[in-house]
Amino acid sequence: MYNYTFKIARDGVIRSFDADTDDLIFKNGLYKADGGFSSLFNSSHTDLLNGFLTRAFESGRLQCIEFYYGDDFYQLKCIRSQADEAICIITNNTKHSQLLKELETHNLQTIVDAYVDSVWSFDRNFSLVVANKAFKTTRKLLDQQELKIGDNIFMYVKDEAFKKWLPIYKRVLNGESIFFEEKRLRNNEDQYVEIYLTPVCSKFKSVIGVLGITRDVTERKKAQQAIEVYASELEEFAFKTSHELRRPVANLMSLAPLIDMDNESVTDQAISKQYMNESISQLDEIVTGMAQLIQQYKSKLNGKPKMTE
């Protein structure tokens, strides 16, 4: 892409080329169709290029040199292809590196934009560095203004929001990771979000910014609340049922001794008494087990996200 290919004669005359005419070595008119290989750069490179070309023809092996020209860093490779001709490739590594960085940035932004959660990041000066579409859309709805990369993260926010978020962000800039759940009012409806704030560190382990992710958990929260309501109603049902059933159970248990007063045979009385006691015990175990099961289920629902300290 930023490799320029030349065919060069032994005396340095360029016979053909395939190059980017926007590059610095062509913009300044240094190259002429009938010029020599050493005319590509300024006079300070003439001896370097001549010696480089001589070694390529005499050795017949690949030769490589690197040097700066202007603000760009070039790499030259040359190998003899025929007795009187060599192929040379010039690479502008600076432009190539810039292109790779642009591609990396573009790909990263594409991935972030595709994320359904709001993703944003800012530096120690609270300047917005990264923001995906979800975050920008949310901020525009809240602020009625469009927040752009480079803007202060607190731009357009109300004083109440500033006082709330500034101390939280400072904690993260001091190295703390924070996660909490928040209830918001959006279009006159309750919205629940989970917020993750993580410090961004440099290769030297110093905090240089904050990465934030806001995840909409409204549907999950509503489902959880519905389950909690159902569990509460079920618990109430079990409580009432257990107490209502215990009364007849107690009555049945109190009637057991009265069997001795009936005219039944001793054997029949013993069998009836045994069946009655067994049934009563089983019924009591079922009711008790139901209450315990509901209590265990309720305990599982109590695991709610809280702000970490």
Same domain, 125 and 201: yes
Is residue 58 scored above 70 in pLDDT?
Answer: yes
Torsion of CA 219, 222, 228, 233, to 10 degrees: -130
* Mean pLDDT of all residues in 140-151: 89
Return phi, psi of residue 193, to 5°: -130, 150
Same domain, 205 and 238: no
CA distances from 156 to 57, 74, 137, 140, 302 (A): 67, 46, 14, 10, 37
Same domain, 158 and 197: yes
* Mean pLDDT of all residues in 269-292: 70
Same domain, 7 and 62: yes
Q: Please enumerate in sequence order all residues whose Cβ is within 8 A of that of 253, keeping only pairs 6 or more positions apart, or say none.
A: 277, 280
Same domain, 50 and 136: no
* Mean pLDDT of all residues in 36-52: 78
Is residue 146 scored above 70 in pLDDT?
Answer: yes
The residue to which tokens 């009936």 are assigned: 262
Is residue 223 scored above 90 in pLDDT?
Answer: no
Same domain, 18 and 54: yes
Is residue 86 assigned to a domain? yes
Q: Is 117 helix (H, G, I), strand (E, B) or coil?
A: coil
Name the strand (E) or helix (H) holding 124. Answer: none
Same domain, 212 and 141: yes
pLDDT (tens digit per residue) in 268-278:
667 667 767 77
Name the pairing type of β-strands 128-131 and 118-123: antiparallel
Separation of CA 173 from chain center: 18
Same domain, 41 and 24: yes
Is residue 11 assigned to a domain? yes
Torsion of CA 297, 299, 302, 303, to 10 degrees: -90
Is residue 286 assigned to a domain? yes
Same domain, 126 and 167: yes
Domain end position, chosen among 216, 244, 262: 216
Is residue 56 assigned to a domain? yes
Same domain, 147 and 77: no
Residue 56 burial (10 A CB sphere; 0-12, 13-18, 19+)? buried
* DSSP 8-class letter at 37: G
Is residue 128 assigned to a domain? yes
CATH number of residue 51's parent domain = 3.30.450.20
Please tell me the pTM assigned to this model.
0.48
pLDDT (tens digit per residue) in 7-40:
888 888 888 777 555 555 555 444 444 557 777 7
Domain end position, chosen among 61, 94, 127: 94
Residue 212 burial (10 A CB sphere; 0-12, 13-18, 19+)? buried
Amino acid type, 203 = K
Does residue 56 contact residue 82 with C-beta atoms inside 8 Å? no
Tally the domains of the chain.
3
Is residue 194 assigned to a domain? yes
Is residue 168 assigned to a domain? yes
Same domain, 130 and 37: no
Is residue 131 scored above 50 in pLDDT?
Answer: yes
Same domain, 125 and 208: yes
Domain end position, chosen among 172, 191, 216: 216
- Mean of all residue pLDDT scores within the chain: 78
| pLDDT at residue 306, as a whole number | 44
Q: For residue 254, what are the domain limits? A: 225-300
Is residue 275 assigned to a domain? yes
Confidence of residue 48 (pLDDT cuts 50, 70, 90): confident
Comparing C-alpha atoms, which of 129, 128, 147 is closest to residue 137? Answer: 147
The CA distance from 38 to 46, in Å, is 5
Token reading at 125: 């000066």
Helix ranges restricted to H, the chain: 24-27, 46-59, 93-114, 133-143, 159-173, 218-255, 266-300
